[in-house]
Amino acid sequence: MALMIALSIFAIFLSSVYSNILYARQYAGIKIPFSFAIAGKNTKIYDFSNGAGIDKWAYRRQINQRPPSVNYLPSIEFNANQYNRISADDGIRQSEVASIGYYASHRFVFSINESNITSLHILWNGIGRNDWIFGGDGATLYIWNYTSGSYELWNTTTSATEVNLEANISLGISNYISSDGNLTILVAQNLPSFRFFFNFYSRLQTDYIKVDVTYIGG
Ligand SMILES: [Ca+2]
């Protein structure tokens, strides 16, 4: 009788171990593909080293309102040489001198392919300055908000030397990407060209611009 009880307990023990193994296998089977699905957090770099004029565009020279109330100014597209100048952070710059009454300016449009975006990092490198010696140097970076239909100021400098202007967007990202996938960035010099006995010009130089797009996906 004691032997029967002992064998029964052993049988229950064995079946418990077996079911635990089954459970572990099922759990492992579910867990492994799930972990692949959430694993990929990737960053794609958009810059003018490729796709200039195809899925990213730059426009030049000047604007008479800072920022403009529309997102299509300035509207003169860069040519191939001008695109080359802003394709790398190498000290070679695309330079603008604005007419009297205008701010020197560049506008950039990136066609963003990714979905499930968690952050956008924008980096502009260049120089903004005005010939006037009592202020007005530097440049300001704006990003178009497609929901409000207006530019937002994201960074600014009063430096007359080469600087980085950066923006990190991690909230409300869909506001900054149009329904057809475009992100619009404007950089404008801080004081318009004007005449006071002499001409004092607004000058903007872009060395490099990029957008890092971080997204979840394979
Ligand atoms: Ca450059």
Quote the DSSP letter at residue 217: -
Distance 28 CA to ligand 1 centre (A): 51
Q: How far is the CA of 125 from the centre of ligand 1 (A)?
A: 9
Q: Taking Cα atoms as reference points, which of 217, 114, 101, 213 lies closest to residue 168? A: 213
Interval between CA 61 and ligand 1 midpoint (Å): 17
Whole-number pLDDT of residue 30: 42
- Give the Å distance between the CA of 209 and the centre of ligand 1: 9
- Distance, CA 192 to ligand 1 centroid (Å)? 24
Rounded Cα gap, residues 80 and 52, in angstroms = 8
pLDDT digits (tens, 9 = 90+) for 39-83: 588 999 999 999 999 999 999 999 999 999 999 999 999 999 999
> Residue 40's pLDDT is what?
86
pLDDT on residue 136: 98
Q: How far is the CA of 46 from the centre of ligand 1 (A)?
A: 15
How many whole angstroms from 5 Cα to the centroid of ligand 1? 84
Dihedrals φ, ψ of 130, to 5°?
-125, 145
85 C-alpha to center of ligand 1: Å?
A: 4
Q: What is the pLDDT of residue 204?
A: 99
Alpha carbon of 59 to ligand 1 centroid (Å):
16
Distance, CA 68 to ligand 1 centroid (Å)? Answer: 26
How many angstroms is it from 164 CA to the middle of ligand 1?
13
Q: Please state, in angstroms and as integers, the Cα–Cα distance from residue 15 to each residue in 3, 8, 23, following that order.
A: 18, 11, 12
What is the 86 CA–ligand 1 centroid distance (Å)?
4
Q: Give residues with Cβ within 8 angstroms of 200, minimum separation 6.
A: 130, 131, 132, 193, 194
Q: What is the pLDDT of residue 2?
A: 52
**Cβ atoms of residues 102 and 64 within 8 Å:** yes
pLDDT at 89: 98
pLDDT score, position 31: 42
Which parts of the chain sit beneath pLDDT 50? 1, 3-7, 9-38
Contact 167, 213 (CB under 8 A): no
